[in-house]
Amino acid sequence: MKTTQERLDFYNENYISLFQAFISKGEKEVCIGMDDKCRYCGKSHTETTFKNKSHAIPLFLGNYVYISKDECDECNKAFSEGIEDHLDKYTKPFRLVAKIKGRKKVPAYKSKDQKSRFSFSSGSGISEITDTIGFEKVEIDHDKKKLKYTFEREPYIPIAVYKALVKIGISLMPESLLPMFTKTIEWIMDSNHNNILFKPAILLYKFIPGEKPNKPLVVQLMHKKNGKIKGYPSCVLVIGLGNVIMQVMIPSAFDAVAKNVKISFIPFPTPFDEKWMHGDPQQETLDLTSGEMVVNEKLPMTFKAEDIIPVDPNDLKERDK
């Protein structure tokens, strides 16, 4: 099942869409979910509070629209600190490259040694690199007019990243299907990331070259039709932001979740998979099963050289005052 058309036919024949959205800033907010209780802890309005605005998809990914009315303040705080912080750190380089604004602005990146900075200037619309040690993190190909910058991800826990993506799927899940995800909800709420629900926790990752192919935030949640096919995820979440597409399984009772899951994963087809003007996408299958902290992970990314300018560190200090 290698061609784009074959993969498209597979999903059309075997899955139905539970949720699909193309999210851009400026759209009117939409509240989703149940009115009577929290879909995670089960507490009602008489047992807990629902004062905070809970985003069904984290705001830092570019979701300004979909608000969960059935996520209590206590669960919202636990998710934010326990798993979404790891997804924030994991995706920060992607969001910086794609110029995706969070609550206030596009995030800036500083190297661990504080000697290199990659940021976006809203005034010029151009990304800027500041490096006090001679641009050691930068490689420039003058012939091809390309620049490669090596990010160092902030420390993160892989399975917490996966849980945060699964939590998005649960937030968007129709209420009628929630009973099939009881164990999954318990798992994403478990603060002990070494407690394993299943393995491997596979993330299908695709990097698409070019200037922000996914201009809106693209989100799709799909479910198998009547268990028609065996050996494939019952529920799949696909998220596209900027140059990146992430795809994960939302584990459920339909998958007979166990310590070792034998499931085949097929990348969801995109308009960029064939004859894309900027080159072929880079597809990877990543295992996020580990509950151990990952530190000093290098992430090289390539850009068009004209999209980035070098900045003198002294000028940056003066501007940031």
Distances from the Cα of 317 to the Cα of 118, 119, 311, angstroms: 14, 13, 10
Answer for the pair 225, 10: CB distance below 8 angstroms, yes or no: no
Q: Which pair of structure tokens corresponds to residue 301?
A: 């990314």
Answer for the pair 287, 261: CB distance below 8 angstroms, yes or no: no
pLDDT at 10: 93
Helix or strand or coil: residue 17?
A: strand
The number of residues making up the chain comes to 321
pLDDT at 229: 80
Distances from the Cα of 125 to the Cα of 99, 120, 266, 309, angstroms: 9, 7, 36, 11
pLDDT by residue, tens only, the chain of 321 residues: 578 999 999 999 999 999 999 998 888 999 999 989 999 999 999 999 999 999 999 999 999 999 999 999 999 999 999 999 999 999 988 888 777 776 666 667 766 666 666 666 655 455 555 554 444 566 666 566 666 778 888 999 999 999 999 999 999 999 999 999 999 999 999 999 999 898 899 999 998 887 767 788 999 999 999 766 888 999 999 999 988 999 999 998 877 555 556 788 999 999 888 888 878 888 999 999 999 999 989 888 776 655 555 554 455 444 444
Q: What is the pLDDT of residues 46-90, one digit of tens each?
A: 999 999 999 999 999 999 999 999 999 999 999 999 999 999 999
pLDDT at 75: 97
Q: Which pair of structure tokens corresponds to residue 240?
A: 């596209």
Farthest-apart Cα atoms in the chain, separation? 66
pLDDT at 119: 66
pLDDT at 1: 55
| Beta-strand relationship, 66-68 and 54-55 | antiparallel
pLDDT at 99: 76
- How far apart, in whole angstroms, are the C-alpha atoms of residue 58 and residue 168? 8
Q: Where are the alpha helices (DSSP H) in 32-125?
A: 73-79, 85-97
- How far apart, in whole angstroms, are the C-alpha atoms of residue 170 and residue 177? 10
- How far apart, in whole angstroms, are the C-alpha atoms of residue 250 and residue 235? 5
pLDDT at 307: 52
DSSP 125: T
- How far apart, in whole angstroms, are the C-alpha atoms of residue 277 and residue 274? 9
* Residue for token pair 């009115």: 35
pLDDT at 256: 59
H helix count then E strand count, the chain: 6, 16
Answer for the pair 119, 108: CB distance below 8 angstroms, yes or no: yes
- How far apart, in whole angstroms, are the C-alpha atoms of residue 286 and residue 289? 9
Q: Where are the alpha helices (DSSP H) in 132-233?
A: 158-172, 182-189
- How far apart, in whole angstroms, are the C-alpha atoms of residue 92 and residue 109? 8
Answer for the pair 268, 247: CB distance below 8 angstroms, yes or no: yes
Whole-model pTM? 0.86
Residue 261's region, left for phi above 0, alpha for psi from -120 to 50, else beta, is: beta
pLDDT at 179: 95
